[in-house]
Amino acid sequence: TEGGLGQPKLSGPGKDADPLLVLTEAALERFGLPVTLTAEERAAGRIPEGHKVVKQLTRAQWQLTKRGFGPWARIYRPATGSERACVQLCIPSWDALDFRHWGAAASLPPAELTRVLGIFAARVMTPRGSTAVTGLELMTALHPPTRASEPDQDGKRHSEHNPGSLGKEPVDPAPCEAIDGHPLLKDLPRFHVRGPAEKIFEEAYDWARPLTDDECLRGNLVGIDVNMAFAAGANGLTVGLGAPTHVKNPVFDPKLPGAWLVDLSHVDLSRVKAGKEWVELRGDLLPSPFTPKGDRPAGPAWYATPTVAYAVELGYDIAPAEAYVRYESGRFLDGWYNRLRDAYLATMADLGVHADTAPEEFLAAMDGYRNRDPELAIVVSAIKATVKGGLGKLRERPRGEGWRPGEPWRALARPTWRPDIRAAVISRTRVNLHRKVVKHAAFTGQYPVAILSDCVVYAVDGTSPLDFLPYRQGKPLPGGFKLGVNPGLVKHEGTQTVLWGEGIREQYEAPELNLARYIKAGVVSDADNGE
């Protein structure tokens, strides 16, 4: 309060963000804390409870959360009325800032690190832990579970459910949405492996195929990557807010979020609907939109609503055998998407990459943009990681050597442990990509040779996306791929020669090695192939 630290709340019913203090190595030495953690402390994620600093905090009537005093320590005093006393610590030398997401931020001098974290806090939110934790906390900050009611007859306000939020209490998933080891599955036989008819498998693409003879004669493999693909998949998506309801032989409703048991093996990609017209395609050169590996379904399987809706869009009748649907629904992630999109676009604009530029100008601006301001480039990486990590946290798995299948874990106590929402976002992201691939194939006759998550690789004559994306007078194919910085548009991921691709497949004796995984760097390590 006296220092004026913190951040204003992000929504009306929300709470102001608590101060974040970053402890440098000099500060750690000053306060009697270790500069680095031992191997045992890193494994535990905290210093021992008997450490003198922890005792000092206790004597001063401060408390630590169950995480203890670790890289992202949270120190608080119990709230009295509306007054909060809580401080978040970030300790870079204890690996608080994961190199995969924050790059070299942990080694920056204090002023530069302040700039990086300050921009992230102003545009996204004050970090509350890892980028994954922050992504999840952002959802709650934008849609708090409760709000103040209207004054009663005595003029008092009370806490009530905030419409459009997930509420204060956790809800159980449908059995098909529960991950292995969930208490709902405790009665399954030991070592039982659930198949697609028992467990929903909505995951991002990891698909590749051998090149055709014609593709082998092309000069290069060009990869394009969808910007903020999972954020774009969340935009405008209706998700369930409450508990699922089990329905037998339901009539499919594309507006109803849920999981559906349906047989999609009859969908033939060699003949699909594009709008009102049927189009003929090389179905053998396309991945199935219904499975992460691109295989055609073998029979009934569980799918999220966007996947089933896409089967209907392609022109095929479907008849679900059963479903778990959520009648209470809303666009819970819209504010989350908007906040992250605006943060991403503002930071990219600072790096010289602007929205609504011509394709040639966009590609030129993207070339080496990270080198223009490495600190801002770190912010971009952190924003992207906040998207993916936040969605991943919706289905967080248990951690720790002491955990056993069938035992509960702390994540289940969160209202935001919602594997159904994660499945819906991934489902929509995957079918959005497939829709663009189909549009491109129908118009150009070109088919992808590999897809990894949001990266698509084509064999073409040329080195640039402009050598095969069908722009006419600067306008892209409607419904197809469009170059640009906005979420959902694509950028150039990398170019390698066809000889390079065939060479590494031959070297590793893997004719369907996913070239999208290596198109950017052009290097395949033995570790990547499990050797």
Query: In sequence order, what are the beta bridge partners of 492?
Result: 224
Q: What is the pLDDT, as a whole number, of residue 197?
A: 97
CA torsion sign for 228, 427, 422, 293 is: negative
Question: What tokens appear for 212 in the block?
Answer: 């055709």
From CA 327, how far away is CA 514, in angstroms rounded? 39
Whole-angstrom distance, CA of residue 99 vs CA of residue 347: 19
Neighbours of 372 (CB within 10 A): 13
Please name the residue that has the structure tokens 């893997």: 510
pLDDT at 82: 63
Report the C-alpha gap between 315 and 521 in whole angstroms: 39
Among 201, 426, 184, 185, smallest CA distance to 301 is for 201
Q: Is 181 left (phi over 0), alpha (psi -120 to 50) or beta?
A: left
Rounded to 5 degrees, what angle do the CA atoms 293, 299, 300 make? 100
List Cβ neighbours of 361 (8 Å cut-off, separation of 6 or more): none
Angle between helices 110-123 and 374-393 (to 10 degrees): 50
pLDDT tens sequence for the chain (531 residues): 677 888 899 998 888 889 999 999 999 999 999 999 999 999 999 999 999 999 999 999 999 998 899 999 999 998 776 677 899 999 999 999 999 999 999 999 999 999 999 999 999 999 999 999 999 999 999 999 988 888 877 778 878 889 999 999 999 999 999 998 888 998 999 889 999 999 999 999 999 999 999 999 999 999 999 999 999 999 999 999 999 999 999 999 999 999 999 999 999 999 999 878 899 999 999 999 999 999 999 999 999 999 999 999 999 999 999 999 999 999 999 999 999 999 999 999 999 999 999 999 999 999 999 999 999 999 999 999 999 999 999 999 876 545 566 556 788 999 999 999 999 999 999 999 999 999 999 999 999 999 999 999 999 999 999 999 999 888 999 999 999 999 999 999 999 999 999 999 999 999 889 999 999 998 876 545 433
Predicted pLDDT of residue 267: 97
Q: How big, in percent rounded to 5, are the helix, strand and coil portions of the chain?
A: 35, 15, 50
Give the containing element (helix H, strand E) for 317.
none
Question: Using an 8 Å Cβ cutoff, are 450 and 514 in contact?
Answer: yes
Separate counts of helices (H) and strands (E) for the chain: 15, 19
Measure the CA–CA gap between 396 and 402, rounded to whole angstroms: 17
Q: In terms of Cα–Cα distance, which of 464, 419, 529 is closest to 223?
A: 464
Chain centroid to Cα 326, Å, comes to: 22
435: tokens are 């829709």
Provide the token pair at 111: 């002023």
Other C-beta atoms closer than 10 Å to the C-beta of 103 total 21
Supply the angle between the helices 419-444 and 305-313 in degrees, to the nearest 10. Answer: 20
Distance CA 435, CA 72 (A): 41
For the stretch 439-469, pLDDT in tens is 999 999 999 999 999 999 999 999 999 999 9
- With 0-12 / 13-18 / 19 or more C-beta atoms within 10 angstroms meaning exposed / middle / buried, residue 442 is middle
